[in-house]
Amino acid sequence: MSIVNYLRRMRYFIRLRYKGKLYHGWQFQKNAPSVQEVVDEKLSMVLREKIETLGCGRTDTGVHAEDFYAHFETINEIKDIPALLDKLASLRVPGVQFRGISRVDARLHARFDALSRTYEYRIARDLNPFLKGLTYYMHGDLDLKLMRKVSTQLLGKRDFGAFSKAHSQSKTNICTITNADWEEKDDMLIFRITADRFLRNMVRAIVGTLLEIGQKKRPADDLLRVMNSGTRSDAGVSVPACGLFLTEVIYPEGSFSF
């Protein structure tokens, strides 16, 4: 790329939602379809130049996103964003919706400038066919009051390595969790958690551990022991990806306009 074209490049944020069941996560995979791959392909097609996006995070295979952001750069100003979104919609990308595009400051980074991310894990308590593939069905008694109480122990800044996927490439296991709670909604039980960052598999491992406490398979004080151990094998099993949703990503006020 010439220096002139490099200096001409403009940065845009794109807002998406997608159904993870159809893809092997957000990030590009050599031998499997990813959300990033199809987004880059369609943006390159409609903008008529090679586009490479960088996402706000890395969702694993089968994980869904109701609110996902990525940034990309182009040498051509997008003068009619609604028309571009219409073109993208007309391509009918399976399981992916292009929700908005906004030009941003060239220094704004989709991953590093995100202040917080919120995930929900959705558990079906009834065999509702309309929730299949979008929830984890779980039968049996759960002590929800106890699970809510124990979840507060997650709050704060600490090492969450015990809930991280083995051999993760993360430079640090330190995260700051600001919210962790359970909600009953119709036939669903929803665990909602907000943090500045998440480790790979972290939410699913936390939920698996809390469910074992709620089933009385672990003592109520076991969550602290697990966190202090830093050992993945001490935590509960990871619940299936089908119930996990990225629901909100927060950036500094005024970063973009959708």
Contact predicate 162/226, CB 8 Å: yes
DSSP code of 129?
G
Compute the half-sphere exposure of residue 238: CA atoms within 13 Å on the CB side of its CA. Answer: 18
What is the residue type of 237? V
Nearest to 238 by CA among 192, 196, 199, 207: 207
Contact predicate 73/11, CB 8 Å: yes
Q: How far is CA 55 from each of CA 39, 180, 198, rounded to the nearest angstrom?
A: 11, 24, 14
C-alpha triplet 53, 95, 57: angle, nearest 5°: 35
Catalytic site positions: 60
